[in-house]
Amino acid sequence: MNALLETHGLKAFYGDAQALFGIDFSLAAGELVAIIGANGAGKSTFLKSLAGLVRVPRETIRFKSEPIGGLPPGEIVRRGLAMVPEGRRLFPSLSVEENLLMGATAARKGPWNLQRLYALFPILAEKRHAPGTSLSGGQQQMVALGRALMSNPEVLLCDELSLGLAPIVIREIYAAMPTITGEGMTVVIVEQDVTMARQVSQRIYCFQEGRVSLEGKSGELTREQISQAYFGIEAAHA
């Protein structure tokens, strides 16, 4: 089966500093893949490269067999890749509903609209006219997630949904995942919470210092393998 999204030897730079040293990654349609790794391992840079926020060579990223590396972010979202940015990044002067409507700028056809989102997160319907940033952290994350869904993407990229949130709130947000993937959505999550990442994903990539240090089915990887790949202790034999 052809990969929906793949990268080959993806390298990325922040100014002069190299953040990614040749990432090979592939994603099949309908999969939920988690990327884990320590701070500074390059997880966020990787997602930003996929979304067009970090410039990379055209051929290093292929989406539906077409090279999309380095395209403007607007072009990438119109092709069907949407991102929930790290730290949520809601528009402070927009209401909840206006934030969600901004997500629909790309105007792709699909199942997601305001009504469906409000059914998924009823609290947002209640607060639709409140400023986005007046909500609690968890509710803001729902808005950020909803905003990305409003573009009706084929692939949803989520950067640290759990950042700064209480465990119970994290669980509440991940409880929405089955509804999202139930529509056939392909999802990539970057997650610091390894337990949560193993629970919700089918496959895991572990990044370490800009390289993939481990890849495998979430159910088959052992704790030892993961912690070694995570912390960079002497590579283990599988």
Partner 1 sequence: MLETVIQGVLLGGLYTLFALGQSLMFGVMRLTNTAQGDFIILGAFAVIAGVSAAGDAAPGLVAMVALAVLPVAFAFGYALQRCVLNGTLGKDPLPSLVVTFGLSIVIQNLLLELFSADPRAIETGGLSTQGVALGDTLSLGVLPLVVLAVALVATAALQCLFARTALGRSFRAVSDDREIAELMGLDAKKVYAFATAIAFVLIAIAGALQGMRTTVSPSDGPMLLLFAFEAVIIGGMGSFWGTLAGAMILGITQQVGFRLDPGWGIWFGHIVFLVVLVLRPQGLFPKTRG
Q: How far is CA 207 from CA 40, 126, 220, in A?
A: 9, 39, 18
Closer by beta carbon to partner 1, 43 or else 147: 147
The count of residues interacting with partner 1 (CB under 8 A) is: 28
| Cβ 179 vs Cβ 24: under 8 Å | no
Binding track over 45-84 against partner 1, x by CB under 8 A: ------xxx------------------xxx--xx----x-
Distance CA 207, CA 165 (A): 23
**Closest separation between CB of residue 132 and partner 1, Å?**
8
From candidates 9, 30, 55, 93, binder to partner 1 by CB under 8 A: 93
Q: Does 155 bind partner 1 (CB under 8 A)?
A: no
**Closest separation between CB of residue 172 and partner 1, Å?**
22
Q: Does 151 bind partner 1 (CB under 8 A)?
A: yes
**Closest separation between CB of residue 54 and partner 1, Å?**
11
Q: Does 18 bind partner 1 (CB under 8 A)?
A: no
Q: Does 42 bind partner 1 (CB under 8 A)?
A: no
CA dihedral 10, 13, 16, 22 (to 10 degrees): -20
Q: Does 132 bind partner 1 (CB under 8 A)?
A: yes
Return residues touching partner 1 (CB under 8 A). Answer: 51-53, 72-74, 77-78, 83, 85, 89, 91-94, 98, 101-103, 105-107, 131-134, 147, 151
